Amino acid sequence: MNDRLDVSRTEVAVLVKAAGLEPSQSQFDEIVEAYGYLRAMTARLQSGFGYGSEPAHVFVPERT
């Protein structure tokens, strides 16, 4: 089981810019490291749910 995937620094730079962040060099390095773990984690998220598999945050209007 891979806890971390290799990621492209270029890809991370695009994502960071899109998120409106301006990290320092050391902070960017941290983000690159984290993104490898994040990609591995989200790759493990279950997929192939049926149409009826609703997420846990379904809107309940009487609560508003």
Partner 1 sequence: MSDVHTIAELHRLYRSKSASPVEVTKACLERIASQDRELRAFVLVTPERALDDARQAEADFVAGIDRGPMQGIPYCLKDIVETAGIRTTGQSRLLAKHVPASDATVAARLKAGGGILLGKNTTWEFAHGGPSWDVFAPPARNPWNLAHHPAGSSSGSAAAVAAGLAPATIGTDTGGSIRLPAAACGIAGLKPTYGRVSRKGVLPNCFSHDHAGPLAWTSQDCAMIMAVIAGHDPGDPGSSPAPVQDYQAALDGTCLGLTIGVPWSWLDQAGTTAPTRRAFEVALDVLRGIGATIVPVTLPTLEAYSDSKKTIAMSELFSIHERDLRTRPELFGASLRYRIQCGALIRAEDYVQAMRMRAELAAATQRVFATVDAIVTPTGEPAGKLEPQPHSWLFTQKSMTTPFNSAGNPAHSICMGFAGNGMPFALQIAARLFDDATALRIGDAYEKATPWRAKRPALEGVPADPVG
Residue reference for tokens 């309940």: 60
Contact 16, 23 (CB under 8 A): yes
* Residues between 2 and 61 with contacts to partner 1, criterion CB under 8 A: 3-4, 12, 15-16, 19-23, 27, 30-31, 33-35, 37-38, 41-42, 44-47, 49, 53-57
CA distance between the termini of the chain: 43
Contacts with partner 1 by CB under 8 A lie at 1, 3-4, 12, 15-16, 19-23, 27, 30-31, 33-35, 37-38, 41-42, 44-47, 49, 53-57, 63-64
